[in-house]
Chains A and B, each alone.
With several copies, the nearest count.
Chain A
């Protein structure tokens, strides 16, 4: 089956920043993304877990965008503005996608 080249961008960011990030993505014309819940982790600020948490301050999410290569820079710029001062990891991977008409 025919596949098409694209990029998979994964932005791991604090849950409280999610809305700001997706708003920024939408302003930049990126309307396709999926969100995964991150249940724990560790970084320079030490380990954490979402178990038993009620504070909105804790917790992170992964925002995943599949995007055409030519639109990558727009996305990265939009994301960077939000992620910049905040905790956040941004990774980009080459992927093949089925049904490129969807992007």
Chain B
């Protein structure tokens, strides 16, 4: 316990997390500090490219062990399955409509790539290595949760929510394509490729992450400010409980598969985190009647800060205990 607390304190005292907190504080204090949309999108492209490339180069270097297929499979199952857990929990803990609950549930099955990136940077800071292909697992976990959420709704009525256009949009959304594409470029060019661009994608990475999290903090803080009070206590409690439940499911899967300590942490983080890029967009198209401020505030305003500050150190400690790493 003391360990978790000191880990958490350590984690909180990093420039990355403090930048996020600065952003939240600035937004709550109604400062006009803001990052231009194009700069924020530019940084997100940088982070996705860098994390994908490094994952691919690491697989090219260490090779793929037998657990790759199993982990991908586990990712698919977690992404598709966790929305069912989330949906039922929401129906019990809150008064949300079926549609809102399904939309929120979809977010929690899917993943937040920034939380994943922050976790890799914590692992790196502690010298804990992880399987390079976890980036690919992150990619496959984005979409199934959306299908589960739409299935949850379609069981209630008869209208088709999913069409070919939407399916293509989900599977080929920009962040998946960039992450997977960079992964394959890293895989194809290996350590030579990495060496040629490491002073771009490795050295300044943590610094860019600071500014990006400053921006995420501003957006999250603005969301919290605008809808303060629009989420009930039940929903807020869900936003903290659900990631813990997800992380435990991820840990169970990691133990079954036999992932390394670092890999276990990352699978936990993927399961625990909630999407705020791909899934909100899909929900706006497929479930326009769901209230975006509910799912965006929960995902970005509650669960994302929780994971960043308390969640990641907690998952690291749990994974170390469970894997003996």
* Other contacts beyond A56-B280, A57-B296: 13, CB < 8 A: A20-B285, A46-B227, A46-B293, A51-B36, A52-B218, A53-B40, A54-B41, A54-B44, A55-B277, A56-B173, A56-B278, A58-B280, A85-B289
Kindly state the separation between the CA atoms of A53 and B42 in the bound complex, as whole angstroms.
11
B292 part of interface (Cβ distance < 8 Å)? yes
Contact partners of A53 in chain B: CB under 8 A: 37, 40, 219
User: Contact between B226 and A52 (Cβ–Cβ < 8 Å)?
Assistant: no
Kindly state the separation between the CA atoms of A51 and B174 in the bound complex, as whole angstroms.
13
User: Contact between A56 and B32 (Cβ–Cβ < 8 Å)?
Assistant: yes
Contact residues of B between 268 and 315, Cβ < 8 Å to A: 276-278, 280-281, 283-285, 288-289, 291-293, 296
Please report the total number of A residues contacting B with Cβ < 8 Å: 20
Contact residues of A between 22 and 67, Cβ < 8 Å to B: 45-47, 49-58
Contact partners of B70 in chain A: CB under 8 A: none
Please report the total number of B residues contacting A with Cβ < 8 Å: 31
Number of inter-chain CB pairs below 8 Å: 65
Give the shortest distance, in Å, between B274 (CB) and chain A (any CB).
12
User: Contact between B173 and A49 (Cβ–Cβ < 8 Å)?
Assistant: no
**Taking chain B's interface residues, is the majority helix, strand, or loop, or is none over half, making it mixed?**
helix
What residues make up the interface of B, taking CB atoms closer than 8 Å to A? Answer: 32, 34-37, 40-41, 44, 165, 173-174, 215, 218-219, 222, 226-227, 276-278, 280-281, 283-285, 288-289, 291-293, 296
User: Contact between A52 and B276 (Cβ–Cβ < 8 Å)?
Assistant: no
Kindly state the separation between the CA atoms of A44 and B41 in the bound complex, as whole angstroms.
27
Give the shortest distance, in Å, between B124 (CB) and chain A (any CB).
23
User: Contact between B288 and A86 (Cβ–Cβ < 8 Å)?
Assistant: yes
User: Contact between B292 and A45 (Cβ–Cβ < 8 Å)?
Assistant: yes
Contact partners of A58 in chain B: CB under 8 A: 280
Interface flags for A1-31 (1: CB within 8 Å of B; 0: not) read 0000000000000101100100000000000
**Taking chain A's interface residues, is the majority helix, strand, or loop, or is none over half, making it mixed?**
loop
Instruction: From the candidates A16, A46, A49, A52, name the one contacting B285 in the complex (CB within 8 A).
Output: A16
A87 part of interface (Cβ distance < 8 Å)? yes
User: Which residue on A lies nearest to B165, using beta carbons?
Assistant: A20
User: Contact between B40 and A52 (Cβ–Cβ < 8 Å)?
Assistant: yes
Kindly state the separation between the CA atoms of A55 and B293 in the bound complex, as whole angstroms.
13
Contact partners of B276 in chain A: CB under 8 A: 55
Give the shortest distance, in Å, between B50 (CB) and chain A (any CB).
15
Contact partners of A85 in chain B: CB under 8 A: 288-289
Give the most central of A53, A54, A86: most B CB within 10 Å: A54
Kindly state the separation between the CA atoms of A12 and B257 in the bound complex, as whole angstroms.
50
Give the most central of B32, B37, B288: most A CB within 10 Å: B37
